[in-house]
Homo-oligomer: A and B are copies of this chain.
Amino acid sequence: MRSRTLDERAGAQIAVKCENLQRMGAFKFRGAYNFLVSLPESARRGGVVAYSSGNHAQGVALAARLLGIPATIVMPSDAPRVKLDATRGYGAQIVLYERERSHREEIAHEVAAERGATVVPPFDDPRIVAGAGTAALELLGDAGPLDAIVVPLGGGGLMAGTSIAAHGLDAAIEIFGVEPEAGDDFAQSLACGERVTIPVPRTIADGLQTTSPGELTFAIARRHVRAVVTVSDAELREAMRFAFERMKLVIEPSGAAALAALLCKRLSGVGGKRVGAIVSGGNIDPARYAELLAG
């Protein structure tokens, strides 16, 4: 997608890759599908387990349905009903847990052990990373050569996949990651050269609330990423509104990170260049969207 106003505001030629228009509304479907389709037949029979209240859960549930693999999703008991319904709608079984009393990752591994199932990690896995990278491949195929690509940065799966896919085609493409101000675990980790863990960040970008880079994704970031920058919640909201008004696109807060960095001219050296921006998802509750839009 292109937007003349976006180009003017960003001072660059922006090609937007709309993963909010992806199946189930986010790029997470790519990694989940690639992981599941890579499982040997024996592992498929045992089923898969994922822990997430967000897009990863739905990506796994949908990929599992398409491939005929039983899926169990571990979700907090206070997850929004609409997400529970959507996950059930894809045919997954849901295991609820009390957010205060138990740790979802442990529960997922317990469930997997009981059932002989495979846990599908949310980002720190080569198959997840490779799947996520197909978005950048398509972007470069559609938009032609780019000088830079900007991606929202949570656990780093999208950033890592984008890096490898883009640099496989053209080593000169500059990769930028964009984190929420409150959740700058990647920026801190890159600055000090090792993985830093931060408290759960308070941000409207619920998909970017990771507390630490993945082991694999951090190693890839150190080799491939030009810079990691941060944006405030107000800037994310501004980018969501821009997408609403000027592009007629619904974007969730996390999904707007790359756009926000471009609109605020947070990225040095991209002026006048051809820049790809990945909008990573559009799954947001109508009431919550209304609140962020109107407020």
B-contacting residues of A (Cβ < 8 Å)? Answer: 1, 18, 20-21, 25, 241, 244-245, 247-251, 282, 286-287, 289-291, 293-294
Contacts and interface: CB of A to CB of B under 8 A. Distances in A.
A293 B292 CA distance: 12
A251 B250 CA distance: 10
Contacts of A251: 248
Contact of A250 (B21, B25, B248): B248
A188 to B, nearest CB: 32
Contact of A290 (B25, B245, B249, B290): B290
Nearest to A285: B245
A293 B282 contact: no
A142 to B, nearest CB: 15
Q: How many copies does the complex hold?
A: 2
A282 B6 CA distance: 17
Q: How would you classify the secondary structure of chain A's contact residues: helix, strand, loop or mixed?
A: helix
Contact of A244 (B18, B21, B286): B286
Contacts of A289: 244, 290, 293
A60 B63 CA distance: 47
Given A248-B20, A248-B21, A286 B282 contact: no
Contacts of A25: 248
A25 to B, nearest CB: 6
* List of 10 A-B pairs having minimum Cβ-Cβ separation, nearest first: A290-B290, A248-B282, A290-B294, A248-B250, A20-B248, A286-B293, A290-B293, A287-B294, A244-B250, A21-B248
A250 B247 CA distance: 9
A167 to B, nearest CB: 29
A13 B96 CA distance: 37
A257 B77 CA distance: 38
A1 to B, nearest CB: 8
Contacts of A241: 286
Contacts of A286: 241, 244-245, 293-294
Contacts of A20: 248
A98 B98 CA distance: 60
29 contacts: A1-B21, A18-B248, A20-B248, A21-B247, A21-B248, A25-B248, A241-B286, A244-B250, A244-B286, A244-B289, A245-B286, A248-B249, A248-B250, A248-B251, A248-B282, A249-B249, A249-B250, A250-B250, A286-B293, A286-B294, A287-B293, A287-B294, A289-B290, A289-B293, A290-B290, A290-B291, A290-B293, A290-B294, A291-B294
Give the residue among A289, A291, A293 with the most B Cβ atoms within 10 A.
A293
Contacts of A293: 286-287, 289-290
A21 B290 CA distance: 21
